[in-house]
A = this chain, B = another copy of it.
Amino acid sequence: MLQSVSATALPLAAFPAPSVPVVPRHRSGPQEFHPPRSTLFLQGYARDRQYRLVEGCVALSQLLPDGRRQVMDILGPGRMIGVWTSDTSRCTAETLAYALIEPVDGLSAGENEAALRDMVARAQALAMLLGRKTAMERVATAILDLAAQFVRPTRNRRRGTVCFHLHPTRGDLADWLGLTVETVSRCFTRMKRAGLIDFQQPEIVTLLKPDAIAHIAAGGTVTDTL
């Protein structure tokens, strides 16, 4: 039976890491290559058609009739596409970079459930972010998540710094984080000026102080971390 226990605060500040294996398995068809900004529209596909993103970046989003957009997730290599298929969840999937995907069939019921639970966990993390976090916290959380998904093996880097390719545009990030382009841009600028991140082109981002960024994502202020 259910019991009453006092709630313990868990690390819910960040997006949960996927529990599905990143190592490709269950391949059952030829890989497909899609150019950036192409729409992989998933609505109406049979339930058993699932893909794994091998390389690249895909955004899942929903559109309101009046054009307002909410990005539900940004997927990096190893993540599953199409688990949610069937008509219960209607997301548009769009590539944000050259994307290589491979069909994955024959997942066991357990693997399927695990993938679905990951989606629930990430959707709830997004809800927490959208409902209760400030703009800086949202951007910091997003940067950490994307850095984890898109780290590129770097060399000659100072200890503790991480460099990654930021595939989504400022506009995509805004639609993901419930903000506007301008606010996202301003947050990036602030973090850059604060010495937490660096970027010459807007797409190549280096985390200079990952811990400080995590601190902000968890609710600390920027000036705190300076």
Write out the residue numbers on chain B whose beta carbons fall within 8 Å of the beta carbon of A41. 2-7
Write out the residue numbers on chain B whose beta carbons fall within 8 Å of the beta carbon of A62. 12, 124, 128
Write out the residue numbers on chain B whose beta carbons fall within 8 Å of the beta carbon of A6. 39, 41
Assess whether A188 is interfacial by the CB under 8 Å rule: no
Assess whether A222 is interfacial by the CB under 8 Å rule: no
Contact of B2 with A120 in the complex, beta carbons under 8 Å: no
Number of copies: 2
Instruction: Give 4 closest A-B pairs by Cβ, nearest first.
Output: A131-B178, A123-B123, A109-B109, A130-B130
Assess whether A42 is interfacial by the CB under 8 Å rule: yes
Return the contact of A7 from the options B39, B51, B70 (Cβ within 8 A). B39
Interface size class of A (residues with CB under 8 A): 35 or more
Contact of A120 with B5 in the complex, beta carbons under 8 Å: no
Binds B, one of A84-92, A143-151, A155-163, A190-198: A84-92
Contact of A120 with B121 in the complex, beta carbons under 8 Å: no
Contact of A42 with B2 in the complex, beta carbons under 8 Å: yes
Give Cα A5 to B41, complex, Å: 6
Contact A92/B178 with A62-B128, A70-B128 known, Cβ cut-off 8 Å: no
Return the contact of A113 from the options B43, B51, B113, B178 (Cβ within 8 A). B113
Assess whether A126 is interfacial by the CB under 8 Å rule: yes
Q: Could you list 28 examples of A-B contacts with CB < 8 Å? A: A1-B32, A2-B41, A2-B101, A3-B41, A5-B39, A5-B41, A7-B39, A8-B43, A9-B63, A10-B90, A13-B64, A62-B128, A64-B219, A66-B219, A68-B219, A69-B132, A70-B128, A86-B117, A88-B114, A88-B117, A88-B120, A88-B121, A89-B124, A91-B124, A109-B113, A113-B113, A127-B127, A130-B178
Contact of A32 with B89 in the complex, beta carbons under 8 Å: no
Write out the residue numbers on chain B whose beta carbons fall within 8 Å of the beta carbon of A130. 127, 130-131, 178
Assess whether A36 is interfacial by the CB under 8 Å rule: no
Give Cα A58 to B144, complex, Å: 33
Assess whether A153 is interfacial by the CB under 8 Å rule: no
Assess whether A210 is interfacial by the CB under 8 Å rule: no
Cβ of A101 to closest chain B Cβ, rounded Å:
8
Give Cα A98 to B125, complex, Å: 29
Write out the residue numbers on chain B whose beta carbons fall within 8 Å of the beta carbon of A132. 64, 68-70, 178
